[in-house]
């Protein structure tokens, strides 16, 4: 089995805080991402949403569409309403060959609010869990029927953040609900990505790789800062520039037969962390970790 290496445009321009890299054109993101060695990009807010427009742009750079974030509101609207809302996004992904949708429930989320500390991350009540799970199952079944698998993104500052919440999500949803394993978000929430990979190997359909600077994470937690303050403080970085054990994680992916994308998704301030420099570092480290773990990388 083999994997492909992709990157998220957060390295250059941030969706949660658009002022970060706000003046950087999409052309720069794509050209530098390709220059760094990546085969594909995830979507960001500067990407056209018409497949007939975006397709030729990606083709010009020799890039594939990896996936794209979708913000769901299943705690406040029905599965049928959610399906109608996501159809344009699903059409874009499907038209350009992406087979996984980065999917995250954002009701009550705080990760985009700089003045709200992470200790205020939302937690679902039992009644909300009972509402959420069947609706998510229905949406996931629909997407799978259309040829695109939901990759549920556990994310700091949202209702599915901790390892325990991931465990319940996996235990109570149908196999159509795939898991996006994000090493940085899991470690940031006190979880263990290696353990989660082993436990849910067959459900993992997408992988995000962001590393953690241990001392910055400790400071964010000790001072009870917000997610965005953590980003600005350098809590995240590219794989190999923090303390997460990617070789062990990738050995688990190889043993389980994972054959999807491995994506650098590392929110940093581009004025501090030069995007092309960090894109190259992330790519080269991922390639080295894959080689050490026996994961074959293809274009």
Q: What is the pLDDT of residue 19?
A: 77
At the fourth CATH level, the homologous superfamily of domain 2-298 is Divalent-metal-dependent TIM barrel enzymes (3.20.20.150)
Residues 6 or more apart in contact with residue 177 via CB below 8 angstroms: 136, 137, 140, 150, 152, 169, 170, 203
Tell the burial category of 152 from Cβ atoms under 10 Å away from its Cβ (0-12, 13-18, 19+): buried
> Per-domain residue ranges for the chain?
2-298
Nearest to 93 by CA among 23, 133, 43, 136: 43
> CA 224 → CA 15, 31, 159, 207, 230, distances in Å?
23, 38, 18, 28, 10
Residue 20 is predicted with a pLDDT of 79
What is the helix (H) or strand (E) element at residue 231, kind and residue range? helix 227-232
| Per-residue pLDDT, 23 | 87
Residue 244 to residue 129: CA distance in whole angstroms: 31
N-terminal to C-terminal alpha carbon distance within the chain: 13
> pTM here?
0.96
Distance (Å, whole) CA 12 – CA 24: 7
Q: Which residues in the chain come in under a pLDDT of 50? A: none
Q: Among candidates 189, 191, 289, which has minimal Cα distance to 239? A: 289
At 226 the pLDDT is 96
Q: Are 159 and 104 in contact (CB under 8 A)?
A: no
Strands (E), 80-192: 100-105, 149-153, 177-182
Spatial neighbors of 282 by CB under 8 A, at least 6 apart, are: 7, 11, 36, 209, 238, 239, 240, 241, 264, 266
Residue 237's alpha-carbon distances to 38, 100, 214, 270, 277, in angstroms, are 17, 24, 11, 11, 12
């Amino acid at each position: 089995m083999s994997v492909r290496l992709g990157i998220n445009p957060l390295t250059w321009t941030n969706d949660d805080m658009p002022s970060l890299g706000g003046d950087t054109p999409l052309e720069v993101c794509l050209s530098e991402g390709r220059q760094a060695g990546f085969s594909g990009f995830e979507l960001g807010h500067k990407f056209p949403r018409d497949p007939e427009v975006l397709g030729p742009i990606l083709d010009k750079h020799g890039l594939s569409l990896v996936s794209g974030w979708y913000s769901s509101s299943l705690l406040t609207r029905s599965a049928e309403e959610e399906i109608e809302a996501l159809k344009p996004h699903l059409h874009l992904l499907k038209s350009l060959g992406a087979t996984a949708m980065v999917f995250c429930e954002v009701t009550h989320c705080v990760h985009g609010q700089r003045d709200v500390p992470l200790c205020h991350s939302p937690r679902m009540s039992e009644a909300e869990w009972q509402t959420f799970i069947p609706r998510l199952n229905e949406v996931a079944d629909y997407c799978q029927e259309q040829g695109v698998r939901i990759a549920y993104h556990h994310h700091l500052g949202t209702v599915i953040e901790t390892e325990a919440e991931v465990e319940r999500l996996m235990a109570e949803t149908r196999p159509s609900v795939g898991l996006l394993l994000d090493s940085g978000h899991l470690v940031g929430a006190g979880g263990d990505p290696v353990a989660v990979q082993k436990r849910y190997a067959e459900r993992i359909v997408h992988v995000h790789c962001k590393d953690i600077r241990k001392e910055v994470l400790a400071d964010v937690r000790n001072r009870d800062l917000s997610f965005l303050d953590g980003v600005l403080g350098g809590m995240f970085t590219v794989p190999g520039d923090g303390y997460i054990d990617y070789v062990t994680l990738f050995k688990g992916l190889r043993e389980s037969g994972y054959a999807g994308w491995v994506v650098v998704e590392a929110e940093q301030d581009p004025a501090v962390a030069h995007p092309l420099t960090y894109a190259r570092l992330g790519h080269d480290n991922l390639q080295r970790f894959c080689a050490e773990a026996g994961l074959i990388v293809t274009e």
